[in-house]
Structure 1
Amino acid sequence: MRIRRWFIYRAHREIRIERGADPNCRYCEGVGGWFGAHDVYPEPDLEVCPCNDGPRVRIPLWRRSPASYSTEPPF
């Protein structure tokens, strides 16, 4: 789910809240980065814009209690 610059999604046993790139950024124009050339590597690498370096929150979800597991074999 996305709310303006914020992304909220459920990963494996956790909920993550992250801030995306600024759509009014003058460096990346809202993309979140740009491809920069390096002398060592022949292919360009993605450089992350400072506007995309926002807060990231991870909320762990609780494990299920052992009583809620099924006692039947899976096959």
Structure 2
Amino acid sequence: MYIFAAIPAEIIEEALQGIVEQEVAGALSGRVKVMGVSWKARLCIPDNRCILPPGTAVTVFGRCGNTLLVLPTVP
């Protein structure tokens, strides 16, 4: 029998900038490029009304396992 525990999110002290490569929407993960590397990503705050299309600038605030937690960058 296996019991899976939720992976706790880690907050990144210095926010990083990235660009969406594959749409990130609501609770669905997509992909972002940060420092030249492509990462799986999802929104920090799942919002079904928020859709980040490819090319959108994002800020990385944390990670959960190998998934980055992002929000759109405010200009």
TM-score (norm 2): 0.24
Q: Which has the higher strand share?
A: 2
Q: Which has the higher helix share?
A: 1
Computing the radius of gyration over CA atoms, which structure comes out larger, 1 or 2? Answer: 1
Comparing both chains, which one has the higher relative contact order based on Cα–Cα distances under 8 Å and sequence gaps of 6 or more? 2
